[in-house]
Chain A
Amino acid sequence: MSESIVYWLQQTLNALQLGSIYALIALGYTMVYGILTMINFAHGDVFMVGAFFCFIAAVYLGLPFLPTLLLTMAGAALLGVLIERLAYKPLRNAPRVSAIITALGLGLFLENFTLALAPYPKHIPALLENVTWDLGGVSVSSLQIIIICLSLGLMFLLDYVVHRTPVGMAMRAISWDKTFVPLMGVPVDLIISVTFAIGAGLAGAAGTMYALAYPVIDPYMGIMVGWKAFISAVVGGIGNIRGAMIGAFILGGVEIMVTAFFPSTYRDFVAFSLLLLLIVIRPYGILGKPRTQKV
């Protein structure tokens, strides 16, 4: 293969890996927005706590990869439900700014609570044997393949749940207008909790995969990744599930390409500028519309 093709394939693979992690987190932002028109600013920190759950499961419990992943997802889902029930639900009819402040405060709480328990960065052991293949010059690692495939699998599963199951139908109905959903016999509070559980569970999966790919974790790792996932969701059209995935892969791609051509310190600057530009051109995002299908 020619050198430039090899190079582009390599970068595309890297972009897919980064994009899938952003996508898993972006889905949580977009689902919660879709159902409550609220930005869950603590969501990036749920991702971070997920990475720490992964650490606990792998190091303290000595679990292998799959149980670690499942336990982390379950733990994060539970955290998501607790956050919704204790912090957001009481404020559902309060002024919007109260919910935003609460979300930001909750994020700080999660960061500092984790910092208190884990003052130094933690190292995640290799849960999977990482084999690297050389495919005509493109280096492909088994970890990369697993991260991409698992993320895509989870995304397809979510897409199926949202568009093909009764729970997903209820979520979409609530995202349209929740006033009359109880008249259908649908327990709205339960569906909202399920939405938080799914979003947080996906962030937990992202935390596990991120920790495997970049094995040093700290309590502030969720801030930047969280912002990027949030921006992915906005670029894709916040409230739109397929949009969040598209936005995340665009952001992952942009970041990888920028580091390929510029000093790596340019990465976030160029990435964010491009995204701002996209928002100016398409204020509702790529798949978002002023008022149509949201979740």
Chain B
Amino acid sequence: MSDTADNLDDLQLEVRDLAVHYDGIRALHGVSFTVLKGEIVTLIGANGAGKTSILRAVSGLIPYNGAIGFEGQDLKRVAAHQIVKRGIAHVPEGRGIFGNLTVRENLQLATWQRSDKDEIAADYDRMLVLFPRLKERQHQPGGTLSGGEQQMLAVARALMSRGRLLLLDEPSMGLSPRLVQEIFRVIEDINRSGTTILLVEQNANMALRIASRAYVLETGTVILSGTGRELLGDHRVREAYLGT
């Protein structure tokens, strides 16, 4: 990549030499990658490769070594709850729905850092249009939703913070094929309306198909990168992740 001013302007997320340890055990080492504005970047890798740890580090949920920069600013000393305000929204692995809060409250909670009341109300209505199932369930506790509905709620909730970069951790996990199709369609829609996406998936096939670029992660380090199309055609990827 050339270091032209144009390129720097387009750089949204830059992860450099990222290392994460859990109780002294190394989970990530020397991970570097970039996400440009408007892209869908996919991280694929087997279970335990370190995908979730990367997203947790970006969101400030865990300590790390190395550098993470967002829109030109270092995130190292920014508290997790402030990172949301900087413009990063995160749909965590397992969805992280608050089962005791209603659907509406789950969505409201994500606007904690916002003060634009009218805009919040408009965004809320927009979510109910985007996810009609949530509209019917507005006043139900999040815990009563089905897995697919919870995933939609988790995505809607992340959008309520109006992040410019959306981190998605295995959004297709545990969903029926039909729902997987739907969630990927939603992801593409969100991207088309201007939100950059960093997508973590084990479902490599679908993820690579919608990706602008992708990185393959193995035991805590990046072993391969390229455009989504390139990796779909790569024999190593096909053998290890696509089962062909």
Q: What class of interface size applies to chain A in its complex with B?
A: 20 to 34
Check B105 for interface membership: any CB of A closer than 8 A: yes
- A294 in the interface, Cβ–Cβ < 8 Å? yes
Give the shortest distance, in Å, between A258 (CB) and chain B (any CB). 36
Q: Is the CB of B79 within 8 A of A185?
A: no
What separation, in Å, do the CA atoms of A134 and B153 have in the docked complex?
A: 59
CB of B101 within 8 A of CB of A173, answer: yes
Contact yes or no, A186 B81, CB < 8 A = yes
Given contacts A170-B109, A185-B110, is CB(A180)–CB(B96) below 8 Å?
yes
Whether the pair A176, B101 counts as a contact (CB closer than 8 A) is: yes
Q: A225-248 toward B: CB 8 Å interface, digit per residue (1/0)?
A: 000000000000000000000000
Instruction: Give the shortest distance, in Å, between A147 (CB) and chain B (any CB).
Output: 32
Interfacial residues of chain A within 259-295, with CB under 8 A of chain B in the complex: 292-294
| Chain A residue at minimal CB-CB distance from B85 | A185
B105 partner residues in chain A, CB cutoff 8 A: 169, 172
Contact digits for A160-193, partner B, Cβ 8 Å, 1 yes 0 no? 0000001001101101110110111111100000
Do B80 and A172 have beta carbons less than 8 Å apart?
no
Collect the chain A residues with CB atoms within 8 Å of residue B33's CB: none
Contacts of B99 in A (CB 8 A): 176, 292
Extra 6 A-B pairs, beta carbons < 8 Å, given A172-B101, A184-B81, A185-B113: A170-B112, A177-B98, A180-B92, A182-B59, A182-B81, A183-B80
- Mark B residues whose CB is within 8 Å of A: 59-61, 79-82, 84-85, 89-90, 92, 96, 98-101, 105, 108-113, 141, 143, 157-158, 161
Interface residues of A (CB under 8 A from B): 166, 169-170, 172-173, 175-177, 179-180, 182-188, 292-294
| CB<8 Å pairs between A and B, sample of 26 | A166-B108, A166-B109, A169-B105, A169-B109, A172-B100, A172-B105, A176-B100, A177-B96, A177-B98, A180-B96, A182-B59, A182-B79, A182-B84, A183-B59, A183-B80, A183-B89, A183-B92, A184-B110, A184-B161, A185-B82, A185-B113, A186-B81, A188-B81, A292-B143, A293-B141, A294-B100
